[in-house]
Amino acid sequence: MRRIAIINQKGGVGKTTTAVNLGAALARLGRRVLVVDMDPQANASQNLGAELEPGEPSTYSLLTQGGKVTDTLRGTSTPGLSVLPAHLDLSGAELELASAIGRETILKDALDDWENEELERSGRSPADVVLIDNPPSLGLLSVNGLTASSEVLIAVQTEFFALQGLSKLVEIVQLLRRRMKPDLEITGVLACMYDSRLRLAREVLAELRSHFPEQLFKRPIAQNVKLAETPSFSRTIFEYAPESKGAEDYLAVAREFLEREGVESEDEARSVEAPPGARPRGPHLDWRAAQTLVAATSEATTPPEPPDPRPEPEERDDESPAPEEPPSSGPLNEAPEVTQAASEEELTADSGASVEELERPSKAVYSRGSRAADRGLERSTWRREQAAQTAGG
């Protein structure tokens, strides 16, 4: 029975979405999957339709009251997919367990008892894959999830800030390997919320591929609005939008997940099962590689240049007529001649002015400091001089 902790101390990177939809994809490919919700927000439980009332068995009672997995286990609408639901009471479990002996291994002991009882009863493990959805922190709940697992899957958002905490997370895993869980390994890194249109996202994904070529899944999880809509309907992406991009991405990741353990995956292959307790020994993710990744990414990720808002000039054929230029005003700024059918009498009748008044140049408005403004000032001066001469004559 493979136990995988999905973790990242940064929130909003896709841990819960990955736990729910990767579990559903593996169930579609014939595996028996259990999702353990260790997040007090209980988002994975709500996504799978397992909303609890106060006092019902949950991972809180499993940790603080010595509950059993069989009493807490709940089925879902997806065949082969089960969930250990969480409740908001789980937020106070760390304080209640502060003085408990062996508080870091409570979840591990509960899963061990559940597996051993099923092996004695039926001779097979109760599940093929256990996916543990951990909270966005490195507290006692996350430590319980890590010690109960043998593998770690890191969900990483393709942004710089999501990479900054990667080295610290790898350091914590190394510490647990030395002191509590020698067989704990980081066997998967999944890029989530990937937008191929952004240069930053492409650069971050390239850095992940160059430093962790064996751990990183080939198919990133692209940004998809359907994945964000599924929790409100308490459905997985395969029930809500099976033809969406998000469903295709998680199904591709599930196929690669099975290929890594040497199992050929097919949508209708329900008889594919791993031997009880079988787990591949994946490559280990070292701390120095993570440090190199963060340093290289900080240098490579530069903000994109803003696009030029000025439109490019359109090409014009030689045969097409050139646009007419506006007539340049002379020193007197004379009004253009009237060439239409209207007569001088009609113009004077409509406007109530004489022909001399109509021929008088109108006052133009120009911006201050321009050449046109200077010429307008000269014309105004000339008009005043002409008026003065007329009055004096």
Question: What pLDDT, on a 0 to 100 scale, did the predictor assign at position 163?
Answer: 75
Predicted structure pTM score: 0.68
pLDDT of residue 332: 42
Q: Please report which residue ranges of the chain form alpha helices under DSSP H.
A: 15-28, 43-47, 59-64, 69-72, 93-96, 106-122, 140-147, 160-164, 166-179, 199-211, 225-233, 237-240, 245-260, 287-300, 344-351, 355-359, 371-392
pLDDT at 361 over 60: no
Is 363 a residue whose pLDDT tops 50? no
Summarised one tens digit per residue, pLDDT across range 336-357 is 444 444 444 544 444 454 545 4
pLDDT in tens, 62-72: 999 988 999 99
Of 79, 75, 28, whose CA–CA distance to 250 is shortest? Answer: 28
**Residue 171 confidence (pLDDT):** 87
Per-residue pLDDT at 318 exceeds 60: no
Residue 393 has pLDDT above 80, yes or no: no
Q: Which residue has tokens 């209980």?
A: 42
Domains of the chain: 2-300 (3.40.50.300), 344-392 (no CATH)
Helix axes 245-260, 15-28, angle to 10 degrees: 70
Higher pLDDT: 377 or 1? It is: 1
Cβ–Cβ under 8 Å, residues 381 and 374: no
Is the separation of the CB atoms in 4 and 129 below 8 Å? yes
Q: Where do we find the tokens 């900080």? A: 298
Q: What distances in angstroms separate CA 323 from CA 181, 328, 388, one per listed residue? A: 79, 15, 42
222 or 313, higher pLDDT: 222
How does 297-328 read in b/e, with b if 16+ C-beta sit within 10 Å? beeebeeeeeeeeeeeeeeeeeeeeeeeeeee
Kindly report, residue by residue over 151-207, the tens digit of the pLDDT: 999 999 988 877 777 878 888 898 999 988 899 999 999 999 999 999 999 999 998
Average of per-residue pLDDT values in the chain: 78
Residue-wise pLDDT for 289-316, tens only, equals 445 554 554 555 445 555 555 555 454 4
CB 189 within 8 A of CB 225: no
Q: Helix or strand or coil: residue 306? A: coil
Q: Is the pLDDT of residue 122 over 60?
A: yes
Report helix, strand or coil for 152. Answer: strand
Above pLDDT 70, what percent of the chain?
71
pLDDT of res. 388: 83
CA distance 6 to 132: 6
